[in-house]
Structure 1
Amino acid sequence: MIINGGQLNHSIVKGSDGSAISGVLAPGGSYTFQANSPGTYNFRCGIHPTETGVLFGSFPPPTISSISPLTGTAGSTLTINGTNFGAVQMGGTGVTIGNVNAQATVWSDTQIQCTVPFGTGATNGNVTVTVAGNPVTFSSPFAAKPVEDWTRTENNNAINDSDSANAIALDGSGNIYVAGSISNASGNPDIWVRKYDPSGNISWTKNQAGGANLDDEARAIAVDGSGNAYVVGVEYQTGSPQKEIWVRKYSSTGGVLWTDSYGGILNADDYGNGVAVDSAGNFYVAGGKSSGQGLNFSVRKYDFTGTVVWDQEYNGPDNIDDEATCVAVDGSQNVYVAGYETTSPSNWNDILVRKYDSSGTLLWTRTNSNMGEDRAKAIRVDASGNVYVAGYVTGSPTNVWVRKYDTNGNTLWTQTYDSPANSYDYGYGIAVDVFGNVYVTGDEERSDLGQGPNVWIRKFSPTGTPIWTETYNGGANMGDVGKAITVDANGNVFIAGQTLESLAQLSDIWVRKYKQ
């Protein structure tokens, strides 16, 4: 504040450009100058030019004493209490949550209220207030929980048999592709593929019944840069009493481009479980192929025309069932495959993760055993080559299992989850966002609440710390499962699975979008 303590009129002029900023100050009058940043400010009198002065602007660093609430939804209000925020919001000041700007709605020297922004970065927890270039971060993180945006369900009302969404993928325009199975008029499941627009409206739906009209099912889907969809599953062919691996490529408008099916050397069941596509249009199929040693762990590479490039199989030490359940590919066309192998002494299933180069040469193998039924069900790889695997391991009795490896197969962290009921909990799907946050879905048994399996979703930080958990319990209090998950660049989370809304029918296809 500048006070005219003399007997004459004065005016305050900025020394830098000569502009009058105060108007005439009569004797005893005052002018308050607001500095937008620390520094030196030169002034002179506009009436008496030889009279000059200097102001030194400085700001004490802000402090944060509390934030409220510590957990909330995007779009809600966050209150920040502290000191030295400034009476008004000036230049060089602001609030960020997870490095995302949060719009302030109330600003005083001791309290700020802001709106929690939507977006993936907003949920990694760090709340920072910056005043005049001085930042301060609160000691406890804020966790932004997701908000349901829309939900879609589907069943064959004429049959009311079991229907399920098993896989989900996105294209670059935000369209959503879901694959699974839906019951036909005979009560047997058909392969089911659907494309939704970003608002959840149906673009097209494709059903496929195998020639034998038995149990046919899509288990995986991937989408390339042109919006072509690659679907993998199992199908009974005409005249065959056994399942075969089934592969089909659809155009972005749902047209069938080509179809392939194959199996192992024996006339026994074969399983197509996973698919991934690289930037060149090559795609990769993971599954189990029948052999003289039960199932063999299998991965096949196709080029963009559907021509087989290479095919790799692995037979575990017990010559029994070994199966690949999922596959991912990185920017260098290295291929990551996970599933399980059967080992002695009690024919346990051990989690098996393998990395191949672009030519199909094995680079490394990792296993995990809890001495029971341990299986990997989903795998993803990020831009740095870190590998993320979800599944389940023997626990009390079965626990969700999540592990992050570096590109060389070294374990970075592992997380498990056992529900309060200490019952059967499974991890089926995994996704990674652009910040390295990890999303896992599956189901948890909540017999302690009188509920069967509920859809279970958990978000982890890049270092494996749980950030939030969401569950969904359908109307029948049982039979709800999250089977696949993906996340877009804006932090929207998409889940596919099944739900049981009434005991008068069997499961329905269930797809949900959450905003963060």
Structure 2
Amino acid sequence: MDEFKLSVSLLTPASDLVTGDPGGKFEAVFGRAGNDNIYAYDPYTSSNPQQNIDFLFGDIFDNSVEEYEIILNIQANQQGGNPLLILQRNIPSVGKDKFILGDINQPYYTDSSFLGLDKFAVLYDFDLTQDKIQLNGKAEDYRLVDVNGLKVEGIDQPFFGKAIFSVQQGTPDLVGYVIARPEVKLDLKDGYFQYVGEKPQTKPARKKIGQLGTTGIDRSLGAATDPSGNVYITGSTTGPLQGSNKGFADAWIAKLDNQGNQLWGKQIGSSGSETSYAVVTDKDGNVYVAGDTGGNLFSSKQSESQDAWVAKYDSNGTLKWAKQLGTNVTGGNANTAFGLQVDDKGSVYLSGLAIKENQRTDIFNFPVQDDSWVAKFDSNGNQQWFTQIGNFFFDESYDLAVDKDGNSYLTGWTQGLVKESDPSRQLLKYDAWLAKVDPSGQVDWIQQFGSKNEGLEFSWAVDTDSKGNIYTTGWTTGELGTKDNKSKKSDSYDIWFSKFSPDGTQLWTKQFGSKADDGTYLSDMEIDSQDNIFLIGYTNDKLGKGTKDEAYNAWVGKFDTEGNNKWIQQFGSKNKLDYATGVTTDNAGKLYVTGFTDGLLGSNSTGANGAGVDGWVAQFDANKGKLQKFIGNSKDLISISDPGPISTVDISNNFVTDEKLPNGDNLINPAQGISVSKSTLDYGDFISSLGSIFDRNVQNSFPTALTEAVNSGQIVI
């Protein structure tokens, strides 16, 4: 079997919306830990007649040495590795994942080839006790076929599993292949198969919320207001959301007035894939957006994989200038901008991460690593300075704040900026970090912090108050205690947020959450002119007076500068995924929250009908937390509880900061403890025979063996 590169989508060890590369012919998608919703297939751009084979890993990657061994065997098939080693291992599930193989409009992975072998998903680690498979239609629209003992030349391990064929088109069409031992029994009428589209929801859950989308994957990821009270939202789309689709995925920005009426929208794209993660405005009403691109967006591409970019528009949506940053600036092969700010002088600050070749595998036995960076531009887009923060591990930055004196603050997660994170863990090593960079671009200080029991800490957002104090927030799996050393057992993920003085001293750290999964994803925080703090996130339980929904609701909460909660408002559609990703306030007491949903959360403004993933934006009373009318005037489909306060736990003494490098071993070897010598995984590309094994155009492959078995009558559909 020939080896070639597969594109890779690798998400966080929390509960993520996992999307793939719409242009990827063969792609490996890793949800990792957490309860992930996996949308690897795009229902809009994937309609063209090309191959689309996705390899879906709900949990398996780096939760244990045993998991990582399976990944390395998949990668090293030609060197004696077994790509089906999972059939010989008992790997416990670490999350309740949902594999999306269809939406309310259509089944996914259908094509016109014999048996539909040009497009299908391979589900590597489906667990019928925890995971779900979503299909369009009803059980009678599918056939579940045992594929046991199928031999493919060049692979010693026979194939075992269940093939899911759609028969809606009249002839059997393979949409999914579940790798499973022969003793595993699946039934299309059991609860782990979920069917949508027979009775689609026609009324939105929240008429007051605006929802915008296409039949593709549309995410709203950032929000800002201008001095006139207008609202800007930004994100990514694989459809024609704010204009024609220019490639696989495009960035977009939309301007709305404070009544929810769209004033203008822009779709920003190339022949590659683009995402916009952040949006800010200046005192003159100009608007700035930033993200990443895989194409020639504003200039020729500067990197092998993707560039970061930032663009300035006037209040009418006219482009003033744009910059595309790649290897020439960051030294990285793949670059992304997540953080964006502008000061009163119109200077622009941009931050992100750069993935690059690891030059010190003697310290970190991995072919790649990444660093964080921050850059400053003048009001005309001329670069003033560029500063990189990192070492030979993974050090990633996801947000940026700038104080009134021009100091910038970056935050994210690290395997070890000032010490090795979680040294007792062999693979998963996550500490949060916060860094201060002075107005000239010099690093003033770096704080790395985490829980004493070495849980995972991930920081998503940072902001400053009027006195120059810094606040940062994220999620934790740590079992954190109080100042009285009373243990607070966390059943799953919790939210934390910390306050630091301008010199980097931790003033306090607070933690809150339900008994289930509470987190943040591509998230944000906002501190208004009165120093009120607004946090956002998701939960699959009950926060405050909210109603439990295992499919995840969004929430927004208000806190004071001592970390006391004033109220928290939980909201969402029923049994659908609703995440909050952006938050902003205006000068008139209004609070805006934006995010994405795979249901019909709000009123339709652009053709959204709850298929795929859509963006949304909501308006609240910033003082009381009440949902306000932003679009539409009908009654909600389901009620929403009044906002209410929740308790927070002070865990300052158990959040360890200012950690120094240990005197002993500071090496990280992800493959340590794996008996077979294998190469290691590249986060950007996955070199494997997996594509050849499942390519019907290869003579000795799973599709050709399956075709022969069907034609000979060995397998009956």
TM-score bracket for this pair, using the shorter chain length: 0.5 to 0.7
Calculate the TM-score normalised by the size of structure 2.
Answer: 0.48
The answer as to whether partners of 1:479 and 1:507 remain within 8 angstroms in 2 is no
In the other structure, the counterpart of 2:85 is none
The one of 259, 263, 287 equivalent to 2:352 is 287
Q: Does 1:227 align with 2:285?
A: yes
| Cα 1:168–1:450 shift into 2, 3 Å | closer
CA distance in 2, matches of 1:490, 1:267: 43
Q: Which amino acid counterpart does residue 279 of structure 2 have in structure 1?
A: I
The answer as to whether partners of 2:540 and 2:549 remain within 8 angstroms in 1 is no
My pick for the range that moved more, 389-398 or 297-306, is 389-398
Q: Does 1:314 align with 2:412?
A: no
The one of 217, 226, 230 equivalent to 1:171 is 226
Q: Per-residue deviation at 1:281?
A: 0.6
Q: Does 1:453 align with 2:511?
A: no
Alignment of 1:20-39 (within 5 A): none
Alignment of 1:142-153 (within 5 A): 150-153=208-211
| Cα 1:363–1:151 shift into 2, 3 Å | same
In the other structure, the counterpart of 2:52 is none
In the other structure, the counterpart of 1:491 is 589
CA distance in 2, matches of 1:510, 1:406: 35
In the other structure, the counterpart of 1:218 is 276
Q: Which amino acid counterpart does residue 394 of structure 1 have in structure 2?
A: T
Q: Per-residue deviation at 1:504?
A: 6.0
In the other structure, the counterpart of 1:244 is 307
Q: Which amino acid counterpart does residue 355 of structure 2 have in structure 1?
A: S
CA distance in 2, matches of 1:449, 1:224: 39
Counting aligned pairs with the same residue, the percent is 26
CA distance in 1, matches of 2:250, 2:234: 11
The answer as to whether partners of 1:446 and 1:452 remain within 8 angstroms in 2 is no
CA distance in 1, matches of 2:344, 2:207: 30
CA distance in 2, matches of 1:372, 1:288: 23
CA distance in 1, matches of 2:610, 2:321: 39
In the other structure, the counterpart of 2:456 is 373
Calculate the TM-score normalised by the size of structure 1.
Answer: 0.66
Q: Per-residue deviation at 1:198?
A: 1.9
In the other structure, the counterpart of 1:513 is 619
Find the residue that maps to 1:446 and give its secondary structure: coil
In the other structure, the counterpart of 2:377 is 302
The answer as to whether partners of 1:242 and 1:267 remain within 8 angstroms in 2 is no
Q: Per-residue deviation at 1:424?
A: 4.6
| Cα 1:210–1:398 shift into 2, 3 Å | farther
Q: Per-residue deviation at 1:465?
A: 1.0
| Cα 1:504–1:514 shift into 2, 3 Å | closer
Tell me the alpha carbon deviations over residues 437-460 of structure 1, each in whole angstroms, 9 at most, x when there is no partner. Answer: 211001112399452221011111
Question: Larger Cα Rg: Structure 1 or Structure 2?
Answer: 1
The one of 396, 402, 406 equivalent to 1:323 is 396
More strand as a share of residues: 1
Equivalent pairs, count: 360
In the other structure, the counterpart of 1:411 is 506
CA distance in 2, matches of 1:450, 1:384: 39
Q: Per-residue deviation at 1:411?
A: 2.1
Alignment of 1:368-407 (within 5 A): 368-370=449-451, 371-395=454-478, 396-407=491-502
Tell me the alpha carbon deviations over residues 359-405 of structure 1, each in whole angstroms, 9 at most, x when there is no partner. Answer: 01122221221334322111111221011112112244322121122
CA distance in 2, matches of 1:151, 1:284: 31
Runs of 4+ in structure 1 off by over 6 angstroms are none
In the other structure, the counterpart of 1:97 is none
The answer as to whether partners of 2:597 and 2:616 remain within 8 angstroms in 1 is yes
The one of 202, 222, 225 equivalent to 2:262 is 202
Tell me the alpha carbon deviations over residues 63-90 of structure 1, each in whole angstroms, 9 at most, x when there is no partner. Answer: xxxxxxxxxxxxxxxxxxxxxxxxxxxx
Q: Which amino acid counterpart does residue 400 of structure 1 have in structure 2?
A: I
Q: Per-residue deviation at 1:296?
A: 0.6
The one of 251, 264, 271 equivalent to 1:191 is 251
Find the residue that maps to 1:211 and give its secondary structure: coil
In the other structure, the counterpart of 1:474 is 573
In the other structure, the counterpart of 1:277 is 342
CA distance in 1, matches of 2:458, 2:401: 16
Q: Per-residue deviation at 1:149?
A: 10
| Cα 1:419–1:507 shift into 2, 3 Å | farther
CA distance in 2, matches of 1:276, 1:267: 22
Q: Per-residue deviation at 1:286?
A: 0.8
Q: Which amino acid counterpart does residue 362 of structure 1 have in structure 2?
A: V
The answer as to whether partners of 1:417 and 1:425 remain within 8 angstroms in 2 is no
CA distance in 1, matches of 2:551, 2:248: 25
CA distance in 1, matches of 2:234, 2:326: 21
Q: Per-residue deviation at 1:192?
A: 0.9
Higher relative contact order structure (alpha carbons within 8 Å, sequence separation ≥ 6): 2
Tell me the alpha carbon deviations over residues 267-299 of structure 1, each in whole angstroms, 9 at most, x when there is no partner. Answer: 632111010000011111110012333111111
The answer as to whether partners of 2:474 and 2:519 remain within 8 angstroms in 1 is no
The answer as to whether partners of 1:402 and 1:414 remain within 8 angstroms in 2 is yes
Structure 1 gap segments, 5+ residues each? 1-147
The answer as to whether partners of 1:266 and 1:292 remain within 8 angstroms in 2 is no
Find the residue that maps to 1:164 and give its secondary structure: strand
The answer as to whether partners of 1:426 and 1:443 remain within 8 angstroms in 2 is yes
CA distance in 2, matches of 1:456, 1:301: 33
The answer as to whether partners of 2:217 and 2:239 remain within 8 angstroms in 1 is no
Structure 2 gap segments, 5+ residues each? 1-205, 359-368, 479-490, 601-608, 624-717
Q: Per-residue deviation at 1:180?
A: 0.6
Tell me the alpha carbon deviations over residues 452-504 of structure 1, each in whole angstroms, 9 at most, x when there is no partner. Answer: 221011111221111111011214x2311111111223331110111222596
Find the residue that maps to 2:540 and give its secondary structure: strand
In the other structure, the counterpart of 1:501 is 599
In the other structure, the counterpart of 1:260 is 323
Q: Which amino acid counterpart does residue 284 of structure 1 have in structure 2?
A: Y
CA distance in 1, matches of 2:317, 2:211: 20
My pick for the range that moved more, 330-339 or 362-371, is 362-371
CA distance in 2, matches of 1:335, 1:441: 22
CA distance in 2, matches of 1:419, 1:490: 32
My pick for the range that moved more, 289-298 or 171-180, is 289-298
In the other structure, the counterpart of 2:168 is none
The answer as to whether partners of 1:354 and 1:366 remain within 8 angstroms in 2 is yes
Aligned-residue RMSD, C-alpha? 2.3
Q: Which amino acid counterpart does residue 277 of structure 2 have in structure 1?
A: R
Q: Which amino acid counterpart does residue 224 of structure 2 have in structure 1?
A: A
